[in-house]
Amino acid sequence: MLFSSLIFVLLFLPIFIFAYHAVARNPYNIKGANIVLVLASLIFYLFGGAFGVLMLFIATIVGWSGGFLVDMTRNKPGARKAVFAFMVFLLVGMLGFFKYAGFFSNIVMPVGMSFYIFKLISYVADCYNEKTEPEESFVAFLIYTACFHHVMQGPIIRYPDVRESIYNRTYSIANMSKGIYRFSLGLFKKTVLADHMGEISDILLPVNDTITSVPALGVWMGMFAYSMQLYLDFSAYSDMAIGLGQMIGFDYPENFNYPYISKSVKEFWNRWHISLSTFFKDYVYIPLGGNRKGEGRRNFNLLVVWLLTGIWHGATVNFVLWGVFYFVFIEIENYSQGIQRLPGLIKHLYTILVFSIGWLIFKCTDAGVLGKAFLGLFGINKNGFTNAAVRLTLSNNLFFIIVCVLACTPLYHAIDKKLAAGVKKNTVPAGVLFGLRTIISFAALIVAIYVMAGSSFRPFLYNQF
C-alpha cells in the first residue's frame, strides 16, 4: 500500500483517523493512541507481505537490544566498542544481504528496509555516543521504526527527535488541518505533477536501446524532465509523511529545501534528501575524522561517503559511478575558487547541469544504455537536433512543464509564508488563510483522486531503494 493509492486515501487513512480520534480525544490517551498507531502501521506494512513484517520485527529487536547492550557496557570501553561494532555489523549485514542478494537469487528486499535500517543504526550510534538513553518500551520503539508515516521512504528520523512526541504530543483540530493541507499538496505533487512528468521522461529518455533513435534535444529535455520528476516524486512523499505526522501531533524534520535553486553542488546536497546527507555526515564522515586530519584524510573520507551513498542506492555500476561523479564535483568546488567568483546565474546554471547529468547516470542502470544516452546528448547517435515527435511532445506539455518548474522553486511556499506572517501581524484575517488552505486542500485532493482513478498506477521512484 502506498500513500498515492486509492485504497490508502479513501479507506485506510479515514479509518485510521476515525479510530485514532476515538481513542486519543480528550482526555488525551497517549497509550491508547500509540497502540492504534502501531496496529495501523503493521497493517499498512502487511500489504507488502508477511515476510516483510517479520524482517521489520527482527531488525527492530536487533536495534532495540543493541541500545541496551551498548548501555550495559558503559563502564567497559573495549567491550562497549565491540558491542557497538557488532550491532552495526548485524544491521548493515541484513541490509546488504537483501539489497544485493537479488543479483544472485530471487530474494526481494522488503520495502523500506534501506530507510528503517539506517534509523536503527542511528539509534544504536546515539546510545553509544550517549545522545539518547535506551528506550525501555518496545511499543514506543516500534513506533519509531515501523510508523507508517516514514517506514517506506523516510525521512531517516533520529530517535531523540521523536521520543518526546511518542510520549507526549498534542492532538488538535489545528494540527489535523495543517497536516491535511501538507498531505494534500504532496498527493497532488505526486499524482498530477511527478507522474505526468515521468510520462514525458519515459518518452524522451527511454532506458533501453531505443534511446539511439531520440534526437539530441529530446535527450536533453528527457534528462531535465526526469530531474523534475525525481524531485517532485520524492519531495511529495516527504510532504505526505510530514503531513501525516502533523495530523496526530508529530513534527518530523524537513527532508528537502528546494535543492534546484542551489548555486553549487555542495549547496545542492545540503538541500536534497537532508536526512540521508546528515546521516552520512554524522555517522560516517565525522567518525572517520571529517576534515580534522588534513586534506588527504578529508579527501579519503569524502570518497568513502560518496561511494557508500552510491552503493546504498544500488550495486549496479551506474550508482557507484554516480557517487564518484558527485565526489569529483565536491572536490572541484573544495579546491577551485573560480566557481565561487562566477555570477550567481552562471553558478545556478552550472549546478543545474551537474545534477541533471547526475540524474541521467542515476536513471540508466544499464551501462550500455548510459553510454548511448551520453552520445545522444551531443548528437553523436546521428539523429539530428530535433524531430516532429519531440517538438509535439514539448509543445503539448509546455504549460505543464512551466508549472512543474515553478513547483521546484519556493514561490508557492513564499506566498503562503507571507500570508501566515500577515496573520501574525493582523494585516491578513486568519479566516482568509484558513479558507484558502481549506480550498486548496480540497481541490488538490479531488484532482489527485480523479487522476488516480483514471490513470495507470506509478509507484514512488525511491521505493526501489
Q: Per-residue pLDDT tens for 79-138?
A: 999 999 999 999 999 999 888 876 667 788 888 899 999 999 999 999 999 999 999 999
Q: How confident is the model at residue 153 (pLDDT cuts 50, 70, 90)?
A: confident
Long-range contacts of 96-103 (CB under 8 A, 24+ apart): 98/55, 99/314, 99/315, 100/315, 103/315
27-55 pLDDT, tens per residue? 678 889 999 999 999 999 999 889 999 99
61-71 pLDDT, tens per residue? 999 999 999 99
% of the chain at pLDDT higher than 70: 97
Active site residues: 313
pTM of the full predicted structure? 0.93
Name the phi and psi angles at 68, rounded to 5. -70, -45
- C-beta separation of 183 from 244 below 8 A: yes
Q: How confident is the model at residue 464 (pLDDT cuts 50, 70, 90)?
A: low
Alpha carbon of residue 447 to chain centroid = 24
Instruction: Provide the pLDDT for residue 465.
Output: 57
- C-beta separation of 197 from 404 below 8 A: yes
Instruction: Provide the pLDDT for residue 165.
Output: 93
189-222 pLDDT, tens per residue? 999 999 999 999 999 999 888 888 899 999 999 9
